[in-house]
Amino acid sequence: MGTCMKKMAVFLGLAVISSIVFAQEKDFPSKPIRLVAPFGPGSGADTTGRFFADLLGKTLGQPAFVENRPGASGSVGAVAVKNAPADGYTLLIAGWSAQAVNPIVFQDLPYDPVKDFKPVSGLMRSALGFFVPANSKINSLAEFVAAAKNARQPLNGGTISEGQQIVVAWFSGLAGVKFQNVPYKTGSQMLTDLMGNQIDWAIENIPSTTPMVRSGKLRMLATSGETRHSEHPNVPTVRESGYPEFANYGWSGLYVRAETPAEITGVLADAMKKVMAMQAARDYARKIGSEQMIFGPEAMRKYEADQLATFRRVARASGISAGKMGN
Exposed / middle / buried, residue 11 (Cβ in 10 Å: 0-12, 13-18, 19+) = exposed
Count of C-beta atoms within a 10 Å radius of residue 59 = 17
Q: What are phi and psi of 55, to 5 degrees?
A: -70, -40
Cα–Cα dist 110/71, whole Å: 12
- pLDDT of the residue at 66: 98
Residue type, 110: P
Nearest-5° Cα angle at 79, 74 to 81: 105
- Tens-digit pLDDT profile for residues 286-325: 999 999 999 999 999 999 999 999 999 999 999 998 887 7
Q: How many CA atoms lie within 13 A of 17 on its CB side?
A: 6
222 forms beta bridges with: 130
DSSP H helical ranges for 61-161: 75-82, 96, 102-105, 141-150
Structural domains of the chain ordered from first start: 30-126+250-318 (3.40.190.150), 127-241 (3.40.190.10)
- Tens-digit pLDDT profile for residues 193-248: 999 999 999 999 999 999 999 999 999 999 999 999 999 999 999 999 999 999 99
Identify the CA nearest to 207 among candidates 280, 287, 132.
287
- pLDDT of the residue at 15: 44
Cα–Cα dist 146/166, whole Å: 21
Please report which confidence band the pLDDT of residue 7 belongs to, taking 50, 70 and 90 as the band edges. Answer: low
Identify the CA nearest to 119 among candidates 26, 257, 285, 292.
257
Handedness of CA 111, 113, 114, 116 (dihedral sign): positive
- Tens-digit pLDDT profile for residues 94-134: 999 999 999 999 999 999 999 999 999 999 999 999 999 99
Count of C-beta atoms within a 10 Å radius of residue 27 = 9
- pLDDT of the residue at 17: 45
The two beta strands, 117-133 and 201-205, are: antiparallel
